[in-house]
Amino acid sequence: MELFPPRLVSDLERLPGANHTYLKQVCGPDAVDVRNRLRSVVAKGSDLHRDRAVELLSSLDNKRFFQGFAEVVTLAALQDAGWALTRMQHPGPSLEMKSPAGRPWTIGVLAFLHQTRPGGEESSREMLATALKGVSGKHRFIVLIRRWLPHDFDVAPVRRAIEAWLTQVARDRWEGRYAAYDDDRISLEFCLTGEKVRRGEPLLAMVIGPFLANRTLEAIEPRVVRELDRHNAGPLRDTPMLLVCGADQPWALSPGYARDFLYGRPRAILGGAPGETVTLFSPTGSIAVFRDPTYRNVGGVVLLDRNPAGAPVVNIRAWLNPWAERPSTPSEIGFKCFAEDKVASSVLSSAWHEPLRAMTWQGDRASMEIG
């Protein structure tokens, strides 16, 4: 089977509509380089996966297409680090691979499509800020965007709500500094800065958000848990698993949200620049994926996303499980990892008089060029 044969490309170029599909975009006249890169990465991949890759990457269904993209890129990243695909286990599929150390692993790949496109956050802020510049009143305020789903936004109800709120504030009929506006598609919070507006100064101080991390985690968590449970119930349950979550846009998930979901709340975080801090975890702590004895066969979770600013580039980072029965190491994974520093764990455990796991970011390779 050939990936993106000339007949398919020409047929899709003539096909009216369907411009929202990744396949139509990849087969467009401006996407020759992307097609060639995908062909190259599939050709360099394993023969065991090639037919499935071509089938998925030939689909007009964005979910199937991006599942294929995530699997192809995952295989390319691991093979580049010295891993080898030995078998595909269905359903799923689960990819059975050997690490550079010769250990068997199960690789699960979950694909996620974001609801918003690149630049959506910035355009949402600009739209709201522009519309609210003419709000009248005496007190300066900040708008926090808690939730914003794609829709044809009408700012008039929000503006009326803010002006009514500021009127109550001016008459000393409002307690506290906060107010909120919610409907099915948007959730906003308003906060007084504590200043009265000066001549020529807008009431709106700034717009912050949207805050997407919590909603992103709500989408990730059930699928991750469901996939891990499926692995535990399958024939490969005794094989350690590495679970890859691939997104079509950069993950709107802060390191803190990912850390708390996988490891629980830390005992302490010790100084340093971002990426150079040491995070300490106690033997017991809040409920988290890696702390659950049911998932001691999980070696780690990988977050992979496509960089829309550089189409041939994907970002990759791994969160390794220090409580796993057979822990992995950054050198075995082959790209940037949040992993235990055993020397720091030993030193700090002695200093703090309790057994601790000291986790740091290790490894430099945080991105990969496709093809």
Answer whether 299's CB lies under 8 Å from 324's CB: yes
Distance between CA atoms of 298 and 325, rounded to whole angstroms? 8
**Residue closest to 38 by CA, chosen among 11, 58, 14:** 58
Compute the mean pLDDT over every residue in the chain, rounded to the nearest whole number: 89
Domain identity same for 191 and 332: no
Residue-level pLDDT at 310:
62
pLDDT value at 119 more than 50: no
- Picking from 201, 235, 257, the residue at the C-terminal end of a domain is 201
Answer whether residue 298 is part of any domain.
yes
Say how far apart CA 340 and CA 320 lie, in whole Å: 8
Over residues 126-146, the pLDDT tens digits come to 878 888 887 888 888 898 887
Residue 76 confidence (pLDDT) above 80: yes
Q: 1-10, 124-133, 177-186, 318-327: which range is least confident on average? A: 124-133
Judge if 183 and 218 occupy the same domain.
no
CB proximity list for 336: less than 8 A, separation 6 or greater? 316, 317, 318, 330, 361, 362, 363, 364, 365, 366
Mean pLDDT across 14-31: 90
pLDDT attached to residue 369: 92
Under the banding of pLDDT at 50, 70 and 90, the label for residue 15 is confident
> Is residue 59 one of the residues assigned to a domain?
yes
204-208 and 139-148: which strand pairing?
A: parallel
Residue 25 located in a structural domain? no
How far is the CA of 134 from the CAs of 129, 137, 237, in angstroms? 10, 10, 61
Same domain for 282 and 176: no
Q: Are residues 172 and 307 in the same domain?
A: no
- What would the pLDDT profile of 266-299 be if each residue is shown by its tens digit? 999 898 766 688 999 999 878 899 999 999 999 9
Q: Quickly state the pLDDT bin for 249 (edges 50, 70, 90).
A: confident
Does 238 share its domain with 172?
no
User: Does residue 4 belong to any structural domain of this protein?
Assistant: no
More confident residue, 186 or 48: 48
| Domain-embedded: residue 26 | no
Identify the domain boundary among 201, 229, 253.
201
Percentage of the chain beyond pLDDT 70 is: 93
Average confidence (pLDDT) over 84-90: 90
The rounded distance, in Å, linking the Cα atoms of 355 and 120 is 44
Structural domain count of the chain: 2
Does residue 24 or residue 284 have the better pLDDT? 24
Least confident interval from 40-44, 121-125, 152-156, 316-320: 121-125
Same domain, 50 and 180: no
Interacting residues of 45 by C-beta distance below 8 A, sequence separation 6+: 53, 72, 75, 76, 79, 85
Is 322 in the same domain as 260? yes
Tokens (6 digits) for 108: 């699960």
**Domain range spanning residue 55?**
46-116+212-371
Task: Check residue 324 and give left, alpha or beta (phi > 0: left; psi -120 to 50: alpha).
Answer: beta
Q: Which residues contact 1 (CB under 8 A, 6 or more apart)?
A: 50, 51, 54, 55
Going by C-alpha positions, the residue among 175, 158, 166, 173 that lies closest to residue 140 is 166
Shared domain check, 284 and 257: yes
Q: Which residues contact 183 (CB under 8 A, 6 or more apart)?
A: 157
Q: Does one domain contain both 178 and 268?
A: no
Maximum average pLDDT range among 76-85, 154-163, 190-199: 76-85
Question: Are 93 and 168 found together in one domain?
Answer: no
Supply the pLDDT for residue 290.
97
Is 63 among the domain residues?
Answer: yes
> What residue has token string 């802060």?
254
Domain boundary among 180, 201, 222: 201
Place of tokens 């909603």: 215
Within-domain flag for 283: yes
Are 77 and 101 in contact by the 8 Å Cβ rule? The answer is no
- Both 228 and 310 in one domain: the answer is yes
Please check whether residue 109 lies inside any domain of the structure: yes
Provide CB contacts within 8 A for 329, sequence distance 6+.
320, 339
H helices present in 233-327, as ranges: 255-263
Strand partners of residue 240: none
Assign 54 a pLDDT band (cuts: 50, 70, 90): very high
Asked whether the predicted pLDDT for residue 93 surpasses 70, the reply is yes
Question: What does the angle CA 104 – CA 332 – CA 328 come to, to the nearest 5 degrees?
Answer: 70
- Please indicate, yes or no, whether residues 181 and 222 belong to a single structural domain of this protein: no
- What's the CA gap between 93 and 113, in Å, rounded? 19
